[in-house]
Each structure stands twice: as C-alpha cells, then as structure tokens.
Chains A and B, each alone.
Chain A
C-alpha cells in the first residue's frame, strides 16, 4: 500500500538499523527461511518435493504478512496459494509422471537462461520496492493491516485496478472454456456424454 499513511514516519524520527526489535529479527529470520525454501524449490530434482518446498516458501510469506500486522492478506495468501495453487500443482504433477525419487529429465538445459531471468526479475523488484518506500517506516505497535483498513483501501483508492483485474480473470476463464471446447470440436465433435 503506497498511500501515505499517518503511521509511516519520516526517516529522521525512525529507529535505526543497529537496534532491531524482536519483530524485526524474526522478520529477517523468516525471510531467510522463505528464501532458502524458494531456492531449494527451484533446484531440487524431485518434482513433488519442489512443490512441498513451495508450500514452505508461500507459508513463510504469509508469516511475513502476519508480522507486518496484515492479517487479512496473510490468510488470503494461505487460502489462495497453499490451499489452491499448490493443490492444483500437485494435481498436475500426479496427472503427469512425477516419479518418486529424482527425475533425471527435470534438468531442461535452460538453467542459465532461467537463472538470468530470475536474477533480473529479482533485481527489478528489489530496486522498485527500495525506490518506492526508501526510508518509510511502518509503526507495528498498532495494527496497520486489519480487514477493515484493507477493505477500505482496496475499495476506495484501488477500486479501478481491482475491477480491471477481475475483468482479466474473467477473460482467462472464458479463454480456458473456449480452449477446451476447441479441442473437443477438433477431436470429432462427438456429443456431450458427461451428463448421463
């Protein structure tokens, strides 16, 4: 949330980096665990293990949101990513081969390119966030991201992006339906027998 907030103090009155509070220490530690899990998730040769490490990384992110007192966002993170996206990934892995143990063909030869793309994306995001917030400081003593605040910001200040996103999702949904219909039509236009 980039809206100027009363609790975002100027740098001059902000605490320094040399005397971290307990929350900050935990924040950094959980961040390290999240980063480690994410790295293992993309380097392990065992496909389903990668999905499990992804659960840890996404769960770590939820904990970070919690530490920033954004409770609602944290639960949505768990609900959408751990509860749905990972289940979808596991479903896909089970539909394909996903052997137990190492997958010898998990190395695609695109590793260097993927590494470059990942590093570039990370650098861009870090630069963006650092530049956007600079010395802003959030006072975590009081709850900043309660459901009420999140809802108000989302539906007052950010309602247009929110609606644009919903249109995008609707387009994706319609596209998926069209694609599945196309394939069925190409397969010989047999009557729909699912219902009987």
Chain B
C-alpha cells in the first residue's frame, strides 16, 4: 500500500510541477520582455504588475471556439496538440531534482529516455502542419522537420560526452558523479546542447518554423482556443525541460552549499537562471534565416560537439 501511495504522490508532484512551472516561465517571459524592451504591457489585471493577465489569457483561450478547418484531416488535426504536449510531461518524470531519490521515477538509461521522448514531441508540430490543409502550416511543418533533423545530432553528441564523463546513462547517476571542474571541462558540450535544444524547441533566434512575418505562425496557424494553448504550453514546458536537463547534465544539478537539505532549491535556481537566458536570447537576437540555421548546425555545432567528445575521451583516459 505504501508503494502505491509513494508512486501516486510522485506522479501528483510531477503533474503539479508540469502545470505550474511552464506558466511561471511564461509569465516571466512577458515581464522580462516588457522591461527589456522598455514597454509596460498589461499592468492592470490583478493589481501588482498585472499578474492576473495570465489567468485572463487562460480564460480567453478556454472560451474561444475550437475551429477545425473544413479541408483539414480532422483526426490528426485534433490529436496533434496532445502529441506535442505529453512527451514533456513524461520527460519531467525522470529529471532528478534533489539527492536521495528526489525524482519522479528513476530510469536506468534516463539520458536516452529523455532525448528519445523529446524527439517524439516534434511529431505533434509535423502532424499539425500537415493536417491543417494550409500552405503556411505545411511550410512550417517542413521547416520544423528539417530543423529537428539537423539539431538532433549535435544535441545527442553533446549528451553522449557527458555520459562518457560520468560513465553512466542514469540522470541521478550523472549528477552524483559531478565535480565542479566538469563545468569548464564540458563547457563546449553544454553550449552545443543548450543551443541545439533551443533550436529543437523553435525558440528565437531559431524560430524560422513559426516565422510570423513569412508564414503567419507555421504549423500552428489554423489552431484556436485550447488546442492552440496546448501548443504554447508545450513550448514553455519544453523550456523548463531543456533548462532542467542542461542543469542536470552540465551545471551539476543539486550540487551547491547545503546540498543535502537544499539540493532541490539549487536545481530550481539553476533551471530558472537558464530559463531567463532563454527569454533574454529571444529579446536580444534577430531570427536566423533557414540557410544560416542549417549552416550553424552542420558546420559549427556538430564539429564542436565532436571536438568535445574527443576532449572528454582524452581527459578521461589520461587523467582519470
């Protein structure tokens, strides 16, 4: 009975985190962008800095009519938001937050599990892009697929470098093996991982698949109401997952002063700091062109990731 309760509690905790953290990131994005661009944005709802605007947006999404275009493939069109959102929920299950089993579920090959399931999420964008019966959606889907193809490889290679360093594929195992000098040692790999992750999430400056000035909103053009909100939520959940993973793999997760009791605070703080960087990049950099995107992936990120693997191997064999 205790086991069942334990599992239920862990699942509930992950579900709560899944429902809360993306919204926090979304709200932080609104406010950070507003301040960085020197504009106020909605400041009245709820009083303090318009914090209730997010709630109002949610209510608005729920009230909107759920439109399916006449020419669309109804079943795939309706299924796509769920396919985009659910993988991130599953990934959150295995990200370790604190020492001593503070994780939804320990998975033996956790690193591979995470990368595999994150790749599935992109299927949702492809399904939506094709099923909308809209040229812009189709173009968005094509760009999504091309981008995923190019950036999956450097991401995997960078993650493999960490796995080599730690000698395990288990995420808690990787954090346990972490030493402070890993961060400079794996610095290049970390940058490659983070950049490729941004591209996989289609965050600016890698948001060519949803470039609003060219193809309206890419694969999500035809979506309204809650289904559109699900796609947005998937993007923010993706930010949380990417930042959490970068924290776990490259920044030492729960390591910090008083890690035994305050470990989870460190994980959350590092994740939040990375999420801030994600938002910061959106405000700072212009969108990259499609050919620039491809060039960056194949001529910069992949060679860097390979060099990182070589460095990891040399250090591992010679010094450890």
Contacts and interface: CB of A to CB of B under 8 A. Distances in A.
Contacts of A87: 119, 122-123, 126, 145, 148-149
Interface in A87-133: 87-88, 90-91, 93-95, 98, 100-101
Contact of A91 (B119, B120, B149): B149
B130 A83 contact: no
A94 B145 contact: yes
B109 A147 contact: yes
B232 interface: no
Interface stretch (A1-9, A10-18, A73-81, A180-188): A73-81
A38 interface: no
Interface string B95-138: 00000000000011100110111011011001101110100001
Identify whether the interface residues of A are mostly helix, strand, loop, or mixed. Answer: helix
Contacts of B120: 78, 82-83
B196 to A, nearest CB: 14
A121 to B, nearest CB: 27
Given A72-B169, A94-B141, A82 B73 contact: no
Contacts of A76: 112, 116
A119 B96 CA distance: 46
B44 interface: no
Contacts of B107: 71
A71 B112 CA distance: 10
A47 B10 CA distance: 40
Interface string A42-62: 000010110010010000000
A86 interface: yes
A79 B119 contact: yes
Contacts of B149: 84, 87-88, 91
Given A52-B127, A79-B115, A195-B295, A72 B142 contact: no
Contacts of A49: 76
B216 interface: no
A86 B73 CA distance: 19
A194 interface: yes
A146 interface: yes
A75 B120 CA distance: 11
Identify whether the interface residues of B are mostly helix, strand, loop, or mixed. Answer: helix
Given A72-B112, A94-B141, A147-B169, A84 B152 contact: yes
Nearest to A72: B109
Nearest to B141: A94
B119 A48 contact: no
Nearest to A92: B145
A1 to B, nearest CB: 17
Contacts of B72: 100
A122 to B, nearest CB: 27
B232 to A, nearest CB: 22
Contacts of B127: 48, 52
Nearest to A143: B108
Contacts of A100: 71-73, 130-131, 133
Interface in A168-196: 194-195
A45 to B, nearest CB: 13
Given A78-B117, A147-B108, 10 more contacts: A48-B73, A72-B169, A78-B119, A83-B152, A87-B148, A90-B123, A91-B145, A94-B129, A100-B131, A147-B169
**3 interchain residue pairs of minimum CB distance:** A83-B119, A79-B116, A78-B116
18 contacts: A72-B109, A75-B109, A78-B117, A79-B116, A79-B119, A82-B119, A84-B149, A87-B119, A87-B122, A87-B126, A87-B148, A88-B145, A91-B126, A94-B126, A100-B71, A100-B131, A194-B291, A194-B295
